[in-house]
Structures are given as C-alpha cells and as structure tokens.
C-alpha cells in the first residue's frame, strides 16, 4: 500500500523531472528517492517514468497517475485544513435551542455578533419548549439551549445570560394604555393571555401569586404555544399579558408596553449545555457572550 509520502515524492519528481533537484527539495538522497519511485511503480504495476542517463520523462501511465495523485494530495491538504479549522472553531456547527423570550430580547443581537466574528460557522435555530430543550441537550441533539427556567440535571451546566423587567402589554387604544399610572387593582376587569404554563413558569408563579396577595382573581382566557400567538391575541382584543421589556426596535406594531406601579419582576434567561460538550464553536459562543 502506498502512503502519502510516496505520492508526494512521485508528484514532486513529475513536476521537476530531475532526481537530484527533487531529492534536494525533499531533503532526502537521490538514492532514497529512486527507491520510492521504484516502489510506486511496483505497486502500480507499470512504468511511470522513462529514465535515461540524461533525462526523465513521464510515460502515458505516469501522466494519468499524476492527475489522480495531485487530486489525492489536494484532498489530503483540504482534509487537514478542515480538521484544523473545526478543531479551532473557525468553521463548524452549533445546534441552538431557544424559547420565545430569548429571541425577543438578547438572542438576535448575539447571533449577529457571532456571525460577524465567525461567518463560516453554521448555526441551527430551534424554537423548543423547556422540557424538549433539556431532553435534546441530554441526547446531544442540541449544543446549547436558552430558556426562562432552570435545570437540576447534574449532566448540564447553567449560566444566567440575560435579565430584564417584565412589563404589562396591551393593544394600542386599550382603556389602560392612556393611563400614566397602572396598579394591579386596575387589571381586575380584564382577562389575560399567557403562554403555556410549562413555558411561562415564572410569569404564572410570581405574577399570579402577587395578584393573590392583593385578592385579585386574574382570569387567564387563553394559553398559547408561542409568543407570536400571544402578541396576536393581545393586539386584536382587550386581553392583557406580561412580556420582557425587550428591544424597542423589535416591538410589534399595535402593542404598547406599560410598567405596573405595585408589581416589579424580571425575566431571567439561562443558557444550558452539557458539561462534557467539547464543541470548539460552543467555547467561542461563550467567550463572545462574556465580552
């Protein structure tokens, strides 16, 4: 079986057509080069060079063999380059899971920064519930997940990535939208639309507990699967909801954000990943997030 060094020696001699010059370039003796070429021809089963005391030339078989040898050497060089770049995280693949709050707040700008720094990395975006993200992380189907919740699984690590205030949202023209001051008691006449309880755990627990302490019976009229559905229902009705303050440039038309005087809370979005995940791209992601 021929090795890469054999192909390199053959290709070098085919380009130089001079044993001593080729041997000097390869830092070997002319005799060693001659033995390599003889071994190549023996393995191929035919002469690849016509040799005389004054000249060296390729045979027809040698010309054809050179085309394949150079292709193989290029492929080997490319394979080494790909391996090095993936090992360094310059290229590669990051499988990312997220909840709606992450995409409505910090995640778009983070994706833009990462793409500017590592344009050859491919990122898969997967909108998934918390429980599905955790299962996918454990199954190595995701590299990292972002959601407003925590994990108790010892195989996973967690880090707080983003926090910002929760505000009341309503349709433009809603009776409360013109108020300069809104208190929990003012919400009593209106129903709410939230995400599913397993996705909006903190909103349910903290907000409804606060309402209970004020003897308010809050009506949750709808539970939606995604943020777009919540926003759509709010924009088209007198129902209310709670949502992170977010980037004003990303806010949906037809909806206004208002603070509550006697309720203050924030959404916290955590990054979750496997402790043993050695994807170099993931290391670059965290390094950029910490800048």
Please state the pTM of the whole predicted model: 0.68
Tokens of 92: 């590669």
Please give the mean pLDDT across all residues of the chain.
90
Q: What is the pLDDT of residue 279?
A: 93
pLDDT at 274 over 90: yes
Specify the pLDDT at position 169.
95
Give tens-digit pLDDT for 183-218. Answer: 999 999 999 999 887 777 777 788 988 998 989 998
CB 137 within 8 A of CB 129: no
Q: What distance in Å separates the CA atoms of residue 291 and residue 288, rounded to the nearest whole number?
A: 5
| Backbone torsion region of residue 259, taken as left when φ is above 0, otherwise alpha when ψ lies between -120 and 50, otherwise beta | beta
d(CA 198, CA 154): 21
Buried b (16+ CB within 10 A) or exposed e, 164-199: bebbbbbbeebebbeeeebebebbeebebbbbeeeb
Give the mean model confidence (pLDDT) for residues 59-80.
Answer: 88
% of the chain with per-residue pLDDT over 70: 99
Mean pLDDT of the region 160-180: 93
Supply the pLDDT for residue 244.
87
Name residue, tokens 């909806």: 255
Residue with more model confidence, 37 or 249:
37
For 91-150, write each residue's pLDDT tens digit. 889 999 998 789 888 999 999 999 999 998 999 999 998 889 999 999 999 999 998 878
**For 221-256, what is each residue's pLDDT tens digit?**
999 988 889 999 999 999 999 988 877 766 788 999
Output the pLDDT for position 66. Answer: 92
> Residue range 13-30: average pLDDT?
90
Measured in degrees and rounded to the nearest 5, phi and psi for residue 256 equal: -120, 150
């Amino acid at each position: 079986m021929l090795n890469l060094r054999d192909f390199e020696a053959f290709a070098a001699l085919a380009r130089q057509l001079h044993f001593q010059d080729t041997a000097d370039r390869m830092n070997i003796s002319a005799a060693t080069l001659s033995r390599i070429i003889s071994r190549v021809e023996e393995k191929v089963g035919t002469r690849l060079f016509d040799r005389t005391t004054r000249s060296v030339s390729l045979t027809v078989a040698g010309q054809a063999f050179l085309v394949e040898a150079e292709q193989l050497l290029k492929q080997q060089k490319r394979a080494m380059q790909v391996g090095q770049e993936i090992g360094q995280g310059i290229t590669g693949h990051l499988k990312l899971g997220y909840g709606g709050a992450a995409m409505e707040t910090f995640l778009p700008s983070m994706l833009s920064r990462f793409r500017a720094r590592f344009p050859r990395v491919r990122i898969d975006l997967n909108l998934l519930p918390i429980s599905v993200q955790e299962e996918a992380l454990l199954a190595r189907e995701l590299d990292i997940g972002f959601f407003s919740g925590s994990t108790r699984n010892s195989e996973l690590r967690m880090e707080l990535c983003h926090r910002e205030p929760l505000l009341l949202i309503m349709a433009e023209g809603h009776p409360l939208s013109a108020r300069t001051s809104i208190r929990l008691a003012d919400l009593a006449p209106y129903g709410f639309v939230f995400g599913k309880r397993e996705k909006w755990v903190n909103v349910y627990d903290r907000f409804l507990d606060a309402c209970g302490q004020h003897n308010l019976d809050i009506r949750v009229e709808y539970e939606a699967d995604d943020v777009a559905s919540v926003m759509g229902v709010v924009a088209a009705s007198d129902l209310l909801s709670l949502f992170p303050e977010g980037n004003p440039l990303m806010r949906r038309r037809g909806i206004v954000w208002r603070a509550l005087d006697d309720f203050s809370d924030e959404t916290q979005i955590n990054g979750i990943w496997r402790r043993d995940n050695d994807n170099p791209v993931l290391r670059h992601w965290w390094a950029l997030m910490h800048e």
